[in-house]
Structure 1
Amino acid sequence: MSDRFKIRFFAHSWVSDWNHGNAHFLRGLARELGKLGHEVRCFEELGAWSLSNLVNSECDRAIESIDQFRAKFPMLDVRFYDRNNKFDEFLDEHLSDADFVIIHEWNDPAIASAILSRKEKFGFRALFHDTHHRAYSRAGEILRFPLHLFDGVLAFGEPITRIYRDGFGIPKVWTFHEAADIDNFHPIRSDKSTDVVWVGNWGDEERTKELLEFLVRPATELPDRKFKVHGVRYPEIAIQTLETAGIDYQGYLPNLSVPAAFSQSCVALHVPRREYANGLSGIPTIRVFEALACGVPLVCSPWSDAENLFRPGHDYLVVESGEAMTAELAHLLSDDAARTQLSASGMETVRARHTCAHRAQQLQEICEEMTR
């Protein structure tokens, strides 16, 4: 029988997914760890930017999003803290009996330092969890953390693992991919009201050129097809560009409403940020896992499955240019059998290898390895 651990998990936000895609996986992971018998507490700082932006900028959908979270994740023990109000007492109370403390990389480095300063006193092991490209693109931001005080790093792809091990000199690094929360991401019977859907954020200028080529151009060249986009941080010029191309921009969509949006669409697009198509080639972001889990045929702008997580050409399609994207979308939208084969293959791979339950089992094995 496996050991049962007291796990304390600090993330930027559990309640809000506004511009915070990491919440998708973290929620499912924490739930599955609980199913394995571990005691998991989830910590979130009061006033964190994701929840603040959700409440302040998405008035119409904020209540819906928070209510969905509460309804779908009643089992998560989420606790808020205020770093300016009895924070030392809070940490002492919740870390005194911890076996493992996991700190996600969107926490403030000062929070991480306060937690790690208690390692020797309480005897817990600490893991740093990285699910972003900053170790590659803005290493200085990651090096603000006292990485030498962690007992290991969970990195969401092999290129990030190599950076921590070979570049930052961290001896214990595990490749720990994200995965689909299939309790919430699965096929839903629905009429198709949209031909092509893309769910993602425009911001940061990390894929503007790619979106123009692989989303806007095909929409312009297929004027009889209905394209729909959901996401946040779209500047006015981007919204105008979508409108000119005939794309229906819907703004923020709570992540737990995404399966319904996929179910109403014939095809989904994946347009990775350029970091994941270049230096971090091989790392799929969470939307790949989620789209495949929902059984929606997926067509991607260029990225390489260098870690052999999927079966490119069978689980999803990759096109090399905007022209090729237009042609592939036109083909899929007129071929029911091709869409059915693609969706069935992608869903099969996710369910066999890439669910939150798979990752919870892997994390349990990592914890057991560290306690031997």
Structure 2
Amino acid sequence: MKLVVLGLSLSSAWGNGHATTFRALLKAFAARGHEILFLERDVPWYAAARDIADPDYCRLAFYADLADLRRWTAEIAQADAVIVGSYVPEGVAVGRFVQETADGTTAFYDIDTPVTLAKLARGDFEYLSPEIIPGYDVYLSFTGGPTLDRLEQAFGSPAARALYCSVDPALYAPTGAAKRWDLSYLGTYSPDRQPTLDRLLLVPARALPDRRFVVAGPQYPAEIDWPANVERIEHLPPADHADFYSASRFTLNVTRGDMIAAGWSPSVRLFEAGACGTPIVSDIWDGIETLFTPGREILLAADAETVIAALGAGDADAIGAAARERVLAAHTAAHRAAELEAYLAAAATARGRATLAGAA
């Protein structure tokens, strides 16, 4: 099929998890024989930090504003499917334009579902508004579980389907890098994640001054008091992620508050670290046990004492190997691309039935 995607970013992974998600998914989708055009709003903060210019699995093009987006009217109209992603600038207007223009299936891909729903509850319609949700043939959600029922019953989505993040196993695998850190964390600063990062990494670091820790990611406030044994990496390009995880005895997963409340909201870091065979220590939320088996494929921690005990455990390699096996069996980009293809095909069939019913 011909697919057009309007997403936050494909060209730059700086300060966002969207780019790595789209890269893995679209590469795998193209491998299934599909043709893809990715349209990205040209904004200075990503333009200054682009790490992909010409992907070999899709066509990447930029538009300056809504008026400039209309240059792509023919491609959007003629596509078999068009996907609009979350956090796209002026996303409500972009969504209306797509729904008015596309002759094929339309989908909203929400990489931030709990955050989106919290914004809608506040009347914050930054990139999605309630009235355009029913106009998308399918709502693809990073969150599964009860949230899917809510999207259909409370917001009128014709079909809400879980399309979790995934990993490209060609890019994320054990590299053999020498172990540098006992516990690592990779993620952009977020105020609602910071208390958990403090509790599950900084407190253990202060309690274990002979152990080595690292926090990688941008936008952390200057006033944070980092212990001396916590290394800081301001930005870690995706090309360096596999080495980062491979150099970690354990890595920490920390989930945003809205996603904990919703449950069933895995971070892409879970699958990337798992694919590298790195044992994961995670905060706790509903649905995580459907992705990894606690105690065998992942360690769950509510407090610093649990993390400290995990760092002293002797079964780290077995947990990392089991996590990698689970990821390769269920959470690769190839799995998600097959799911996406099935969802879009089903939505196209449903759209065809609705058209025939209307004509009758």
**TM-score under structure 2 length normalisation:** 0.89
- Pair 1:307–1:261, CA change in 2 (3 A): closer
What CA deviation, in whole Å up to 9, does each residue of 1:308-344 have, x standing for no partner?
A: 1221211110012112212222x13xx2xx1110011
- Pair 1:354–1:143, CA change in 2 (3 A): same
Task: Kindly tell me the number of residue pairs found equivalent between the two proteins.
Answer: 340
Q: Match of 1:21, as an amino acid? A: G
Please give the alpha-carbon distance, in whole angstroms, between the structure 1 residues aligned to 2:299 and 2:196: 16
Corresponding residue number in structure 2 for 1:293 = 275
Q: Secondary structure at the match of 2:199?
A: helix
Corresponding residue number in structure 2 for 1:59 = none
Q: How does 1:61-76 map to 2 (within 5 A)?
A: 62=49, 66=51, 69-70=52-53, 73-76=55-58
Corresponding residue number in structure 1 for 2:236 = 253
Corresponding residue number in structure 2 for 1:7 = 3
Corresponding residue number in structure 1 for 2:259 = 276
Corresponding residue number in structure 2 for 1:114 = 97
Q: How does 1:155-304 map to 2 (within 5 A)?
A: 155-158=141-144, 159-203=146-190, 205-238=191-224, 241-242=225-226, 244-277=227-260, 279-304=261-286
Corresponding residue number in structure 1 for 2:354 = none
For structure 1, list consecutive stretches of 5 or more residues without a partner in the other structure: 56-61
Please give the alpha-carbon distance, in whole angstroms, between the structure 2 residues aligned to 1:296 and 1:7: 34
Shift of 1:276: 2.6
Please give the alpha-carbon distance, in whole angstroms, between the structure 2 residues aligned to 1:173 and 1:268: 32
Give the conservation status (yes or no) of the 8 Å contact 1:216–1:245: no
Please give the alpha-carbon distance, in whole angstroms, between the structure 1 residues aligned to 2:207 and 2:131: 47
Q: Match of 1:320, as an amino acid? A: A
Q: Match of 1:105, as an amino acid? A: S
What CA deviation, in whole Å up to 9, does each residue of 1:201-257 have, x standing for no partner?
A: 223x1122111111110000110011011001101112xx11x35311111111221
- Pair 1:306–1:300, CA change in 2 (3 A): closer
What CA deviation, in whole Å up to 9, does each residue of 1:47-87 have, x standing for no partner?
A: 165x04xx2xxxxxx4xx61xx358x433311111226543
Please give the alpha-carbon distance, in whole angstroms, between the structure 2 residues aligned to 1:115 and 1:48: 24
Does residue 98 (structure 1) correspond to residue 79 (structure 2)? The answer is yes
Give the conservation status (yes or no) of the 8 Å contact 1:112–1:145: no
Give the conservation status (yes or no) of the 8 Å contact 1:24–1:181: no
From 19, 22, 39, give the equivalent of 1:23: 19
What CA deviation, in whole Å up to 9, does each residue of 1:115-135 have, x standing for no partner?
A: 22213xxx2110011111223
Give the conservation status (yes or no) of the 8 Å contact 1:131–1:156: yes
From 296, 302, 323, give the equivalent of 1:320: 302
For structure 2, list consecutive stretches of 5 or more residues without a partner in the other structure: 350-360
Shift of 1:16: 0.7
Please give the alpha-carbon distance, in whole angstroms, between the structure 2 residues aligned to 1:157 and 1:16: 24
Q: How does 1:37-56 map to 2 (within 5 A)?
A: 37-47=33-43, 49=45, 51-52=46-47, 55=48
Please give the alpha-carbon distance, in whole angstroms, between the structure 1 residues aligned to 2:213 and 2:95: 42
Q: Could you say what the CA RMSD is over the residues aligned between the two structures, in angstroms?
A: 1.9
